[in-house]
Structure 1
Amino acid sequence: MRSPHVITHVCSEWRHVALSTPMLWATIMVDYEDYDSRITSRSPDNDERLHTWLGRTGTYYPLDIAFVGPPRYESIIGAPLSWISSYMHRIKALDLSGIFSGLLTSRFEILEALALANHEWHVGEDKINQTMFPSLRRVVLHEEDELTPPRFIPWPQLTHLSLNADSIVPATLWIMLSQSLELVELHISLDSVGVANGEDDAVVPAINDPVILPHLDTLSVTMSLYNSLLSRSSFFLKSFKLGGPPGSFEIEPFLDIIRRMPSLTQIDCNSSVEVTPTLVASFASLNIAPNLEYLRMSSYWRIVVEDDEFLHMVSSRDRSGEPAVAELNLPPYTRIFRSHMPKRPWSSEYLAAVKDAVVDRRVPISETVHIYF
């Protein structure tokens, strides 16, 4: 997003328009990664530019604030967060990363989305509780080490939860999920799953009780975590994404999961299941995912499946008997196949994937197949 300062430099009339339009200033990014408590003039409490910007948001427009504090490995002093107290009732989205300190004195009345990344609250976290977040529905927790969820998250009211961490104790994860009965979307990405003694273990200890998530329709998870924690649970999913190391899971265990989810309309195998003629042929039957609208397959190496095999699979699922179509003039490492009248617009997921690859140059080159039924 471009700064609204650009508009203020066009002419006096546009400057007046910009300064009198609170919504232009409602997205606020504050970077105190190099915060030094010895320099009081550089504290957020005394930051003239920050408070001038906040003043331009008016008195009522909802705010989207991202605040970066010092990283844990570089500092033991947290950046003050007390400046937020006067605006808590107006914050709709809040993204915090790094170390913080400072008491929060009121409630986040309209806060719907909260993201916490590698955060620590050195002073004041014990004063924060679940009653301060009456409208919170979406939470993202990112942790480079073992994830220990904050005690103030109101799990029972969440609809969207995303966990990205090096590891987590299985019992901790189970407790979180067992309270989150309103979840609609759940995304879990873990490098490994820790056990109680702090060691990492690729094999997740089984937890006998199922997780009950009656409203869940979108799940993104690794196969090992699914088998250990969620396989005894019953979901009415519409979207399922399988994560994990490239080619790390066999075809049949993957298909067994899909067979238990006839409600699925979207499947993303990512690269965790090797794309082979056998896998492609398996989807030719409507006995697997009979309501499927979109299927994504990808690989970190060349997919050795001919176009004709994909086309046959798509045609076999099409009750009209019309032949499937292979799209032409696509970027390298991309193939798209669709029925003659796909159930959803074929460009949406493809364009999003291309955009992500362009933005994030760290994404390794891989071949991806998009299929629209």
Structure 2
Amino acid sequence: MPTIDLRRRLVELDAQILEQKGVLRDLQQTRIDVEREINETATYPILTLPVDITIEIFHLLPLGHGFPRTALASLIAVCWTWRGIALSTPTLWSTMDISFDDIPSTVIAKPELVESSINQWLGRSGECPLSLTFCLRLTEDDDYFSISRLRPIVRQYAHRIQHLNLDLGDHNPMEPLELHSLSFPLLQVAKVQCDFGSESHVFNNAPLLHSLHVGGNQGVVATRFHLRWEQLTRFVGSIDNLDLFIVARNLIDVKCYWTGEDITLGVITHSRITSFTILYAEDDRILQYLTLPSLHHLDLSDPTDDLLESFLERSSPPLISLRAQVANSSFARWHEALVHVAATLENIEISCASQEDMTSILSWAWGSSPAQTFDALSNLKTLHCLDVLGPVDHSDLVDFLYFRARKLRSFQLVWRTSPFLDGHVYTGPPGAPAVDTIYGHFSTLRAAGMNIYVGTEDENYAAKKDDASDT
């Protein structure tokens, strides 16, 4: 073949090779596109969710806890899509929870790292209201983050703080923060634990503050702790006199423990409190000084029988829920006290009940004198007996549940240690189904709509027959 023909053939082959290379490039690019689509849809289907749904999921995560490696910092490292969503959502950056005591000293020694990281985080929150928690319990004797380093942080963001939790321990003073000189126009909830000193002027320029939680090694005295008490609706903490109930007339929810001495004082009536909790045993002494006629919820820790009776008789409140621990007192002697609230009481939770207490509770169904006191307790919907110390008569228990079946919707009997609950046959009270086992009666009551839990924290014996039938 002549040379000219060979050269022409070579040119043709080069052209075909270039054409095939173009086809190969197109195929390779198509393959990359398909692989990317597979990764985004098949391997990571969550990436196909609408952005607003993804943001809602992000809000459910504890994103603002820890320093410097937080859940949110890990989240934005997953992919560019999530990073873009997170960085463009200011509300995700509006919560911060830092324990400075847990940060290594090598990091604490670098203000440019700690403070700059905090400012970078909060800077992404735009103008959103902030929820800040700072824990700093170490003292000056330790290698710690100085409280004074918090001052410029709180000062810079005070105008946007809505919830503030300062845990400085029982021995660190809060004076270095100079809170008295700051304005908190959005602050609604404050929780502070520290050494308050002789006088504390804090949050006196927080017009929206309504919930205050105070911790520390001393009781709160309203005349010493200066703020706008009349605007509070919720208080949690220790008190060593009763000024709180005089100056904070709009309180609705109070959780307190008493650190003061017994005093000779007239009874104080507070007409707005609907929920009252005594946090520690023996603090029920405060009941002798209070009348709470609007009370709906009462939570006690081992109350004294006579104090409870006189308090309920004097207050005569429309009580709905009663929660009490009876480790040392006797619930068997509470009949005289509870008669004053029996008409409205719907929910009772008792902890540490003895065998005598349980016998008394189960006797509410019968015609003995104490039970007659509870004839008016016709609205009882929930009865929970937790951490029960002794056994009960299972037949009495079944009789009680049938008697209360019309109104009682939830019953729990949780023993501290596992009882021997066998399935012996019992006819049940008049009107009950035919002869059946204890488990069978439980099953009948559950089928009628009563939520029954009888057993230990780990096993519900009342559901045993139901579970067996399911298998």
Normalised to the residue count of structure 1, the TM-score between the two structures is 0.69
Give the drift of 1:272: 7.1
* CA offset digits 1:302-340 (Å, max 9, x no partner): 3322344344334434557xx988789x99869998794
Contact kept, 8 Å, 1:146 with 1:194, in 2: the verdict is: no
Alpha-carbon distance between aligned partners in 1 of 2:350 and 2:412, rounded to the nearest angstrom: 21
Aligned residues: 325
2:383 and 2:411 in contact (8 A); partners too? no
1:12 deviates by: 1.5
Residue identity opposite 1:265 in structure 2: E
Partner of 2:300 in structure 1? 242
Give me the whole-angstrom Cα distance separating, in 2, the residues matched to 1:341 and 1:231. Answer: 42
Q: 1:261 and 1:338 mapped to 2: Cα distance?
A: 28
Alignment of 1:183-332 (within 5 A): 183-189=251-257, 193-195=259-261, 205-221=262-278, 224-230=282-288, 232-244=290-302, 247-251=327-331, 254-262=334-342, 263-271=344-352, 275-282=357-364, 286-287=374-375, 289-299=377-387, 302-319=389-406
Partner of 2:226: helix, strand, or coil?
coil
Q: Is the 8 A contact 2:234 2:251 kept in 1?
A: yes
Q: Does 1:114 align with 2:190?
A: yes
Matched, 1:84 2:171: no
| Residue 141 of structure 1, aligned match among 203, 209, 214 | 214
Distance 1:219 1:41, change over 3 A: same
* Between structures 1 and 2, the one with greater helix share: 2
Q: Read off the aligned partner of 1:240 and give its amino acid letter.
A: L
8 Å CA contact 2:268, 2:289 repeated in 1: no
The answer on whether the counterparts of 1:312 and 1:324 sit within 8 Å (CA) in structure 2 is: no
1:24-173 to 2 correspondence within 5 Å?
A: 24-33=92-101, 42-43=110-111, 47-59=115-127, 61-72=128-139, 78-82=147-151, 83-98=153-168, 99=172, 100=174, 101-104=176-179, 105-117=181-193, 119-120=194-195, 128-129=201-202, 131-143=204-216, 145-148=217-220, 151-163=225-237, 168-169=239-240, 172=241
In structure 2, do the counterparts of structure 1 residues 186 and 293 end up closer, same or farther at CA, with 3 Å as the change threshold?
A: farther
* Cα deviation 1:25-58 (Å, max 9, x = unaligned): 1110122237999x98545996111111111111
For residues 121 and 42 of structure 1, the distance between their equivalents in structure 2, rounded to whole angstroms, comes to 29
1:219 positional shift: 2.1
- Following superposition, the deviation at residue 160 of structure 1 comes to 1.9
Distance in 2 of aligned mates of 1:212 and 1:250 = 28
Q: Structure 2: how far apart are the matches of 1:79 and 1:251?
A: 51
2:293 alignment partner AA: F
Give unmatched runs, 5+ long, in structure 2. Answer: 1-61, 64-70, 303-324, 366-370, 422-441, 463-471
Does the 8 Å contact 1:236/1:261 carry over to 2? no
**Structure with more strand by fraction:** 1
- Shift of residue 5 of structure 1? 1.7
Instruction: Structure 1: give runs of 5+ residues left out of the alignment.
Output: 196-204, 358-364
Which is greater in Rg?
2
Matches of 1:131 and 1:325, distance apart in 2: 45
Q: Which has the higher contact order (CA 8 A, sep 6+)?
A: 1
Q: Distance in 2 between matches of 1:44 and 1:275?
A: 62
CA distance in 1, matches of 2:399, 2:126: 59
Say if 1:207 and 1:23 are closer, same or farther in 2 by CA, change over 3 A. farther
Identical aligned residues as a percent: 18
1:19 aligns with: 87
Q: Is the 8 A contact 1:267 1:295 kept in 2?
A: yes
Give the partner amino acid of 1:68: C
